């Protein structure tokens, strides 16, 4: 199966939180979407690898994914190693995604999040090398997007996820081991605030920025080319 879009992240639940709205929206548009979780989150305090894999499966169904795989790389120990890059590059060749979504590459609380961005980008390059013996035909995605949710950084564009917000929240809620009645939710996020409060407030704020109810932000390296600059939906005045 060839995918239109593949999202890559370090842990089960990362995709749901950072770009789940866009993944659901793309599936709604009839695009074939997939997620590659690099680790099982086995070093986390809550849950077990088996539990998190099952939660990821349920969340994937809610998001309408065509494919979800876990590469079983070591949690809290992702490194820019050739063996890690080759494993990711192999699934890029396998599914031949036209677009890849990666975590934002700026410094993040969990080192694996930034490392997943580095590994993902370099694997995209590696997957296109004809002399790299990974099996399958060489392939590189046409576009790489970076999910910049939570990042204190300029965003290149926003996506209206108003119609997808309820399902995004349900996909995050599928991770009961992480987010249901746990004190760690309060400890990790702001005092007295759980992940669902945070999703509501942050997505609503992004939405206000661009004139819709809920939005997700993204960043890209390259300039954005428009056919008709006068048709942009966000007003200047």
| Predicted pLDDT of residue 19 | 98
- Look at residues 157, 135, 164, 134 and name the one whose alpha carbon lies nearest to residue 206: 157
Q: Which domain holds residue 61?
A: 5-231
Q: What are the phi and psi torsion angles at 93 (to 5°)?
A: -65, -35
Would residue 128 count as lying in a domain? Answer: yes
Is 14 contained in some domain? yes
Domain count for the chain: 1
Supply the pLDDT for residue 226.
Answer: 93
**pLDDT reading at 106 higher than 90:** no
Contacts of 24 (CB under 8 A, 6+ apart): 62, 63, 64, 161, 164, 167, 168, 171
Q: Is residue 32 part of a domain?
A: yes
| Residue 237, in any domain of the structure | no
Question: Does the pLDDT of residue 187 top 70, yes or no?
Answer: no
Question: Could you tell me the pTM of the whole model?
Answer: 0.95
- Provide the percentage of residues in the chain whose pLDDT is more than 70: 95
Inter-residue contact 24 to 168 (CB < 8 Å) = yes
Token digits for 180? 């249901």
pLDDT at 148 over 80: yes
Question: Would 223 be classed as within a structural domain?
Answer: yes
pLDDT of 192: 53
Is pLDDT above 90 for 189? no
Look at residues 102, 71, 97, 110 and name the one whose alpha carbon lies nearest to residue 7: 102
CATH number of 136's domain: 3.40.50.10320
Percentage of the chain beyond pLDDT 90 is 83
124 falls within a domain: yes
Whether 99 shows a pLDDT value over 60: the answer reads yes
Average pLDDT value over all residues in the chain: 93
132 domain residue, yes or no: yes
143 DSSP assignment: E
In three-state secondary structure terms, 19 is: helix
**Strand, helix or coil for residue 69:** strand
Cα–Cα distance, 120 to 105 (Å, whole number) = 10
Domain presence at residue 236: no
């Amino acid at each position: 199966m060839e995918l239109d879009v593949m999202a890559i992240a370090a842990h089960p639940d990362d995709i749901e939180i950072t770009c789940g709205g866009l993944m659901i929206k793309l599936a709604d548009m009839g695009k074939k979407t997939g997620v590659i979780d690099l680790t099982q989150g086995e070093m986390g305090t809550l849950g077990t690898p088996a539990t998190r894999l099952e939660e990821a499966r349920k969340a994937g169904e809610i998001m309408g994914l065509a494919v979800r795989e876990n590469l079983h790389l070591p949690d809290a120990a992702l490194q820019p190693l050739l063996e890690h890059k080759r494993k990711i590059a192999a699934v890029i060749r396998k599914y031949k995604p036209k677009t890849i979504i990666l975590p934002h590459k700026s410094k993040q609380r969990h080192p694996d999040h930034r490392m997943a961005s580095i590994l993902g980008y370099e694997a995209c390059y590696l997957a296109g090398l004809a002399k790299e013996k990974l099996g399958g035909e060489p392939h590189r995605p046409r576009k790489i997007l970076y999910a910049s949710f939570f990042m204190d950084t300029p965003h290149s564009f926003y996506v209206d996820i108003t119609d997808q917000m309820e399902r995004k929240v349900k996909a995050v809620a599928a991770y009961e081991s992480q987010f249901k009645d746990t004190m760690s939710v309060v400890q990790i996020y702001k005092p007295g605030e759980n992940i669902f409060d945070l999703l509501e407030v942050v997505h609503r704020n992004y939405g206000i920025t661009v004139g819709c109810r809920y939005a997700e932000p993204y960043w890209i390296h390259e300039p954005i080319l428009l056919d008709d600059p006068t048709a942009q939906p966000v007003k200047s005045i």
